[in-house]
Amino acid sequence: MLEFKRLTVRPKEVAASLIIVGVFEERMLTSAAAELDTASDGLLKRLMESGDITGRLGATALLHQLAGLSAPRVLVVGLGEQRKFDAARFLRANREAHKALKGLPVEAVASYLTEVEVPKKDIAWKLTQSALAADYAAYKYTATLKARAERVELREVHFSAASYDGDALDRASGIAAGVRLARELGNLPPNICNPAYLADQAHELSRRYPDIGVEVLERAEMETLGMGALLAVSAGSENAPKLVVMDYKGGSGKPYVFVGKGITFDTGGIDIKPAAGMEEMKFDMCGAASVFGLMEAVARLKLPIRVVGITPAVENMPDGKSYRPSDVLKTMAGHQVEVLNTDAEGRLILCDALTYSLRYDPHTLIDIATLTGACVVALGSHATGLMSHDDELANELLAAGETTMDRAWRLPLWEDYQSQLETGYADFANLGGKYAGAITAGCFLSRFTEGQRWAHLDIAGSAWDAGRKGTATGRPVALMVQWLMGQK
């Protein structure tokens, strides 16, 4: 991953492979861009007058060998209209700038975008978000690709912050490491990243960070505990289920417990999914991946709290042993659940994992899951769906999302929706019908978290970029780490 450093040298003297500066529309230069313009005898202004540099938000122009500069390259990124410039546009400019670096033979970059004023945001926020944007763009998936000849790649990013002496870049480095791990696990193919692989990765985390203890429950132990719902989902797969528990003991007091859905591949089971797009179902373990990423970040940052990460890891496959529509499953909590659709499997593994988590007497309990297509329909890819009966917790998580721009949107969890889960053959069903699917899934989980300070995060739309070249995003690691850093 990238190394982040604080920059105190002005653009004219900086010895980097490339300098990043911003310009607004209407031919308005930022202070750093103005310094480069002066050093190069007005070149930037001439290029803006000719239309070669527009200042349009996110548009980039790469310039070579500007006179009067030590750096051989300058990347100019558009900031849009100055009067509309805000946090979202700041992040967009950073992301587009670092995307433009891909393929360039640069090892060290000096960014002066952190000098640009962002309403209601301080230098620490700008440094953190700029660093995360840089690392996000620099990530490359290579695990199953043929080895390529070595070439010059970006290693360091220096951010202008002459008067700042805080730890924002260290925090960003910890969060970035967690996001990278979550993305890598999500991107791996399901023949590699299966339940056993996730268990191995937990042990690897424990080897790197001695403060993380690991326990892996096998099928026999889950049978003894009565995890009938989780085991039913796994019944059709040759890959044995695992319940992976990671316990970071960085402080005393009640733990913050996170439960991440780990369906390492989801065919839908007997209610099999359409073939088109089924390859994306390797991403159905991104809830578990985000919990792994969270544990990585928390351990790197040495947060003075106790955090427990639990990931029920199974594969949902069609087979002669698979569970069926109309089966009635007994959960660890003792509830009898009628299966109306075997593709509503995530809530079935989560309900037993949530019940298991109660033995830790959580301070707060949060589950993260690529749970429903209904959430994607409602919110698209921009926002994570958030549900909770606890207004204080919901507001804290929403605020953390706004700070990191890893945003969530709260959906209602009213008692009115619970009736949709009613059935004449069990205590309740695993499906609530055609309407409000994301909410009724949250209602189902709420029945296993009564009396808890609990929230549900549906990341079905935000966990990966859809399409053949789509990759895991690592969300909502940044949101969760930000929230944890604010806990006492």
3 state SS of 307: strand
Contact 34, 48 (CB under 8 A): no
Question: In whole angstroms, how far apart are CA 224 and each of 82, 262, 331, 360?
Answer: 63, 21, 12, 19
| Residue 347 among the catalytic residues | yes
Q: Are strands 156-160 and 108-111 parallel, antiparallel or unpaired?
A: parallel
d(CA 262, CA 394): 24
Q: Which residues of 298-320 are buried (b: 16+ CB within 10 A; e: fewer)?
A: bbbbebebbbbbbbbbbbbbeee
Question: In whole angstroms, how far apart are CA 7 and each of 93, 154, 170, 233?
Answer: 19, 16, 14, 52
Contact 344, 437 (CB under 8 A): no
Catalytic residue among 171, 242, 261, 347: 347
Say which DSSP state 30 is in: P
CB-based contacts of 75: which residues, under 8 Å, 6+ apart?
18, 19, 20, 21, 60, 61, 62, 63, 97, 100, 101
d(CA 59, CA 465): 22
What is the C-alpha R_g of the chain? 24
Check the CA dihedral 106-110-114-115 and report its sign.
negative
d(CA 388, CA 452): 10
d(CA 354, CA 311): 10
d(CA 3, CA 173): 8
What type of residue sits at position 323? Y
Catalytic residue among 155, 273, 330, 453: 273
Contact 20, 110 (CB under 8 A): yes
d(CA 54, CA 480): 37
DSSP 420-476: GG--SSSSEES---SS-HHHHHHHHHHTTSTTS-EEEEE-TTTSB--STT--B--TT
**Nearest one of 275, 263, 276 to 317, comparing CA atoms:** 263
**Nearest one of 49, 144, 132, 149 to 98, comparing CA atoms:** 132
Residues belonging to the active site: 273, 347
